[in-house]
Structure 1
Amino acid sequence: MFTIVFYIFSLFLSYTDFKKFLVPNNLIMTMSLMLLVFGFFESKIYISSIILAFVILLFFIIVMLLNRQLIIGGGDIKYMMLVGLYLGVSSFALFLIITGILQTFALLYMQKIEKRKVAPMVPLMFISVFIVELLVKFDIYTVKF
């Protein structure tokens, strides 16, 4: 159920972010609650995952305080916290690399070709999670902490 909850909510969040550039707080809150509940019942949530989610939040708070003109939405940050909770510490590093590459290409495309300043990031983060899980499943990425 832990994985199913993550994927179902991520699909909804990706759709709303892609269509409306909006990540609804009620979906984020419901998803986080269900991930915590099912994660504890299925023993897939570790204290390191919870700490990672708070470190992500702290990092973005500091970055946003230092650079007030940063173009990143609050929904993207909240979703990234849930990704950290879902993936855990060992896979999150690979997620950051993959999502960074995908988001860079998406932003370049949106700014240079579409002439828009913003791009939906939640769908790209969701694709990155899927790629990370495939790499872990097929033992291509096997780093364990």
Structure 2
Amino acid sequence: MFTIIFYIFSLLLSYTDYRKFLVPNDIVIAMSVMMIVFGFLNSNIYMSSIILCFIVLLFFIVLLLINRHIILGGGDIKYMMIVALYLGVEPFALFLVVTGLLQTITLLFIQKIKKRKIAPMVPVMFLSAIIVDVLTLFKFYPFKF
């Protein structure tokens, strides 16, 4: 149920971000609450995942305080915290690498070829989470902790 909730809500958030460049707070809150409840019931969430969410939040707060002119949407930060909650610590490291590569390719395509300034990043992060899920399922994990 934990995984199903993540995928259904991620599809919804990806669609709204792609269409409206918006990640609604009410959907993020509902997703977070349901994931925490079902994660604890099914033993899919660990304390390290919750701490990782707060580390991600703290990192982006510091980043925004250092550079106030950075172009970064709040929806991206909220969704990345949810992905941290879903994946856990070790797969999240792989997620950061995969999403970094995919977001760079996407931004280059949208800004250089389509000539638009903004790009929806939640669909790209969702695709990265799917890739990491598949790689983790097949026990292909390049990082050793």
Matched residue, 1:139: 139
- Offset of residue 12 of structure 1: 0.1
RMSD: 1.0
Amino acid in structure 2 at the alignment position of 1:18: Y
Could you tell me how far apart the structure 2 residues matched to 1:70 and 1:143 are?
Answer: 30
Matches within 5 A, 1:46-57: 46-57=46-57
Matched residue, 2:107: 107
Name stretches of at least 5 consecutive residues in structure 2 with no aligned partner: none
Matched residue, 2:65: 65
**Structure 1 runs (4+) greater than 4 angstroms displaced:** 142-145
Amino-acid identity (%): 65
Matched residue, 2:26: 26
Name stretches of at least 5 consecutive residues in structure 1 with no aligned partner: none
TM-score w.r.t. the length of structure 1 is 0.97
Q: Deviations over 1:54-79 (max 9, x none)?
A: 00000000000111111111011000
- Offset of residue 140 of structure 1: 1.3
The number of equivalent residue pairs is: 145
- Offset of residue 141 of structure 1: 1.3
- Change in CA separation of 1:43 and 1:95 when aligned onto 2, cut-off 3 Å: same
Amino acid in structure 2 at the alignment position of 1:57: L
Q: Deviations over 1:43-99 (max 9, x none)?
A: 011010000000000000000011111111101100000000000001000000000
Amino acid in structure 2 at the alignment position of 1:124: V
Matched residue, 2:4: 4
- Offset of residue 135 of structure 1: 0.5
